[in-house]
Structure 1
Amino acid sequence: MQIRSFQLSDYKLVAELLEEVLSEDCCEETMKAFARQLSWDSDLVLVAESAGNIVGVLIGTIDHHKGYVYRIAVRDKFRNQGVGRQLVSHMSNRFRQRKVLKVLVAEDKHNEVLRPFYDSLGISSVNVVKLTQPLAIVAG
């Protein structure tokens, strides 16, 4: 398993993964935020690659010295194998390198189901922020 920065050649595979893993309305919101984040800073989009296949993606962003884990998606057959944990760990390292003062999980209606995952990482409710608008609108 390799965690690396998104590359332009990954776009189609990442879009397919998001369509496969996320609900239709979540995917629509995520694709807008994904495109916007790529225009700002593609190094905050990480992919997990296994045997040449994209098996996970994490979209992060930075706004006013705060790092946000916006959306994480892992293919079903790769869940519960540490892919999400590795993606979050690598993103946390990127945030530290950029002198981010606080890391938050963007808890919107789509991320609520991931609460047990974030709890397993030791992320308390202090580190979760409810979004009132999609990230594609508020960050930047």
Structure 2
Amino acid sequence: MNIRAFQLSDYKSVAELLEVSLSEECCEETMSAFARQLSWDSELVLVAELEERIIGAMIGTIDHNKGYVYRIAVHPDHRRQGVGRALMAGLSHRFRQRNVFKILIAGDKHNELLLPFYEALGDQPIDFAKLSKPLSIMAV
């Protein structure tokens, strides 16, 4: 498995991944945040690739020296195989490269369902941040 930055040629594959991995409501919210983050900093959108197929994606952003994990999506056929952990490690590494050491999980109702996953990472303290407005409309 290879974790790498999103490339424009990945757009269709990532959009399809989000559709099969997320609820309809979550997918709609995520697509607008995904587009905004690509316009700001595509290096914080990561994909997990296995045999030239995208099986996972993670959207992160930085705001006021804090790193935010906005969304993670792993194809249902590849869950519980370390894909999410590898994506989180890749994003954490990118945050550290930019001297961002405080990592927050965007505390929306969709990420709250993943709280056990984030707690199980245990490598570093990760906090949930209740956002006053969706990350998809925050200015970075």
Deviation, 1:138, is: 2.0
Aligned to 1:20, the other structure's residue is in SS state helix
Partner of 1:34 in structure 2? 34
Partner of 2:18 in structure 1? 18
Q: Once the two structures are aligned, what percentage of the paired residues are identical?
A: 66
Aligned mates of 1:111, 1:139 — CA distance in 2? 20
Aligned mates of 2:93, 2:101 — CA distance in 1? 12
In the alignment, does 2:85 pair up with 1:92?
A: no
Instruction: Compute the RMSD of aligned alpha carbons.
Output: 1.2
Q: Deviations over 1:25-48 (max 9, x none)?
A: 111110000000000000000000
Gaps of 5+ in 2: none
Aligned mates of 2:75, 2:132 — CA distance in 1? 27
Aligned mates of 2:101, 2:3 — CA distance in 1? 23
Aligned mates of 1:9, 1:17 — CA distance in 2? 14
TM-score by length of 2: 0.95
In the alignment, does 2:102 pair up with 1:102?
A: yes
Aligned mates of 2:127, 2:114 — CA distance in 1? 14
Aligned mates of 2:101, 2:113 — CA distance in 1? 26
Amino acid at match of 1:94: R
Partner of 2:82 in structure 1? 82
Partner of 1:69 in structure 2? 69
TM-score by length of 1: 0.95
Deviation, 1:101, is: 3.5
Partner of 1:131 in structure 2? 131
What does 1:51-66 correspond to in 2, within 5 Å? 51-66=51-66
Q: Deviations over 1:51-91 (max 9, x none)?
A: 11000000000001000011000001110000000000010
Aligned to 1:27, the other structure's residue is in SS state helix
Aligned to 1:85, the other structure's residue is in SS state helix
Amino acid at match of 2:25: D
